[in-house]
Amino acid sequence: MKRIGEMTSEFGVTARTLRYYEELGLLSPVRTEGGSRQYPPADIARMKLIERGKRYGFSLEEIKEMILLFDKDRSGRVQLERTIRYGDEKLEEIDERIRELEDMREELTALRAKFAKKLNQTEGGNG
Amino acid sequence: MKRIGEMTSEFGVTARTLRYYEELGLLSPVRTEGGSRQYPPADIARMKLIERGKRYGFSLEEIKEMILLFDKDRSGRVQLERTIRYGDEKLEEIDERIRELEDMREELTALRAKFAKKLNQTEGGNG
DNA sequence: CTTGAAGTTTACGTGAACGTCAAGTATACA
DNA sequence: TGTATACTTGACGTTCACGTAAACTTCAAG
């Protein structure tokens, strides 16, 4: 159980940010008798998910959905099937993103080669 | 050379968005005699870059930097070297992102398997 | 040459994701 | 038990990325 200060240094965010995430239902710290927040391991795992989600341009609302997906202990058949379908969708999205990134990678590599060649031709020249 | 209306339908954005991008220096349409915007092929390429950049959570400012990288006809030696170094950094970022996405993929797949197993155990049972 | 759709500038509005006080309370340590 | 540091709850402010409305102009078709 970590206090808010430890969380801020661990994740490089401000206390305001952690409280805001709690306000949105992304985090669920418990409280000490005095009222201070105590973040359980689950919240640390959630923060890692949030970090990643943000890097990929998801809104906090979308990230919340994902957290629910990872979190919920779904027991009903229908719920399970629904979860699996949702997960499959996310998998496809991820695959699509990987493909795109690989395309970008190729483009950048080609561009790099072009510049490197140009640099060789400029060898001994001036700026 | 496309007009703003064609651009909006092609990219699924509003005219306001295109004008905003222009305001930030991301697009550079020319004008008709009357003052209407005409988007050259270069701006279409830029829009594709913008689309991707946004999907990966980059700010428009960051995207602008990237556009400059893809755009500029750098001729000086120092400029070229700088560009190549910048490109290498971006390449590393992309690789890192691909790795992360592959991790997420694995996690999701494992989760899917877990749910599928649970679903089999629930076979014929109820919620 | 009219008419309606499409485009223009100007300017204020908005939602997301926090930043930044202020004023009071908890916690840790000598 | 004092006190420095950490934490609390408001509540208003700010930046980004546009939305939206008003008032006007240009463009394409008949």
- All structural domains of chain B: 2-120 (1.10.1660.10)
What tens digit of pLDDT does each residue of B40-67 get? 999 999 999 999 899 888 999 999 988 8
Q: Is there a contact between B65 and B83 (Cβ–Cβ < 8 Å)?
A: no
Residues 17-76 of A with CB under 7 A from strand D: 19, 35-37
Q: Which residues contact A24 (CB under 8 A, 6 or more apart)?
A: A60, A61, A64
Coil, helix or strand at residue B18: helix
* Residue A82: pLDDT over 50: yes
Coil, helix or strand at residue A101: helix
CA A124 / C1′ C20 distance in Å: 55
pTM for this entry:
0.84
What tens digit of pLDDT does each residue of B97-111 get? 899 889 889 988 998
What tens digit of pLDDT does each residue of B9-39 get? 999 999 999 999 999 999 999 999 999 999 9
Q: Which residues contact A63 (CB under 8 A, 6 or more apart)?
A: A26, A49, A50, A53, A54
Q: Inspect the interface and report whether the beta carbons of A115 and B91 lie closer than 8 Å.
A: no
